[in-house]
Structure 1
Amino acid sequence: MDKEKLDKEFEKLWNETPFSYSDDEKEASWEKFQSKTFAAKKPKIKIWRYMAAAAIIICMLTGTGIYLNRSPLQDTFYLTSNTIENTTSTIKIVGLPDSSSVELNPDSKITYANNFETNRKIVVEGEAYFKVKKDKKYPFQVFCNETTTTVLGTCFTVQGNVQKGVTVFLYEGSVQMSIKDQDKKWILKPGEKFIYGKNVAKVLEFNRFADFENEKLSAVSDYIMANYGYKMIIPEQYDNQRITIRINKKEDLKTIVQLISEMYNLNFEINEDLKQITFR
């Protein structure tokens, strides 16, 4: 019998008799006996105890759901999380802790961990448009159904639901797409969309710009109303003014408004409560 088995047998016998001694007394006596009999084994027992304590801590952390540095699609990735849901009928703007931003569509929600600055993983249900702050040290990852979108800094939209699968539209920068349990990666360029559904993935092109070629300024006004929900009021003398402009479909509203104001030398005011833009 090797020392380890012998050690266990002695300990078993030692704990069985005599019953009149307390547990503390038996433990002290056993340690004294063991140090004399198996002196070389003591460091190993200490190590085992530290490992056991570490295992208990890990189990406790796992039970509370702490992030384990693996994909959220495989493990619970947050101890305490932030879930933001848009229950309104308009787009909701959400500022993330790393200074990235999300335009959250109605009936959509996102979930991310409290340590988001260093753990930039976010789960999407529904549709959301992301403007990601660049951070080479901590890549930004969006999880939707079985897909993962990994970026360093870019602008893209994620649409996902159980029936139709997932579609990712890339407007600026570059993203890498991957699918759970698959090794293949897809790198998107601006103007490309990734579609995944019914276990089939493909990359297609889409038009990421809205082009106005010598059209009335009122056409841009209609575009802003339809896509941003803001009414644009322009002086009457500009009603028939012509404009040629290309607009990124996910451009900031304020950027578009500033461009128009500079083109026609107009001042503007944005009323957030009325969702109205007035040029003067």
Structure 2
Amino acid sequence: MSYSHEELEALLQNDEFIRWATSRETVENAYWESWVKQQPDRQALVEFIRSLHAAEQVHPGHRELADEVWHAVQLQMEAPVRRISWRKYAAAAAVAIILGAAGLWYGLSGNRGGEGGLVVQKVNSVNITAKNNGKAPKTVYLTDGTRITLGQNSTLAYSNLLHGDKREVHLEGEAFFEVTKDAQRPFLVYSGGIVTKVLGTSFRVTGHDKITVAVKSGKVAVSRQQRDVDEEFILLPNEQVVFNRKANTLNKTVVVDAMLLQNPVTSHVTLNFDEAPVTQVLDSLAAMYTVDIQYDRNLLARCMVTVSLEQESLYDKLQIVCKVLGATFETHGNVIYVKAQGCN
């Protein structure tokens, strides 16, 4: 499985969704009804949860529901494909694809998050903000393949396509970074008066009044954002810098708290599609990376693909999908256009 039980449990902590999905009577909810209609697998997922609840296999509690859904999905995924009914397979796929994206489904459908999830909003056609309103860490995926685990009550501001000769993000709060290497485009994290510059590494930035940058792997350079202060620290693995905003001091030490070097979300999301509509694949990628992917929906309506997408960048994932489909893609401005011949 590409996601943990803890992630699934956290994703099922949306009270509004649980009440609607497990209600024995028809309860009108315009948002969730619209959400279900966006992709066929979502309806299958809801029916799957309702069938478990109707058979009294689950209780309304979040943990019980997560346990039962997890157990049922495990059984379905382990069974031979030929024995899996369409509805059960679709439900399993829906959990793996929709829920497996480390909480993104809370925020990416209508920029909705609530107490339990990640709220992702487009400030304009280029810039995005992601805020973790939940109690569990949430994952943000950048188009270059960088993975950022955002801590509770933390906010990240960034550009979706990361154009230009450098990659820049702005952080308020705490996050663990796993930055994709790109020697031609350094990665810059602005947080609380300091800037952390990397080419490709893993590290954590945490704190408000005292900002700590702790390096797990690779090498980073930390300096003040003030242009009139020429002071820079080079950090190697197991080293950290603490910036005291009130005292305006930077101090370099070894990492004392080993937990600073651990990513609380250990597994990368793997998107597995088995004879799935390519429109679903493209829509899933657009939601995962919060980008605008344009294509002819009617032309591709009958195109089905089987593909597994793991730790690649968005562009690598699109290359794989287009190779399977016999298509091409190109970026103009802030929009990605997929060009294909269609399927019979």
TM-score, with structure 1 as normaliser? 0.46
**RCO greater where, 1 or 2, for CA within 8 Å and sep 6 or more?**
2
Question: Is the radius of gyration larger for structure 1 or structure 2?
Answer: 1
Relative to its length, the structure with more strand (as a share) is: 1
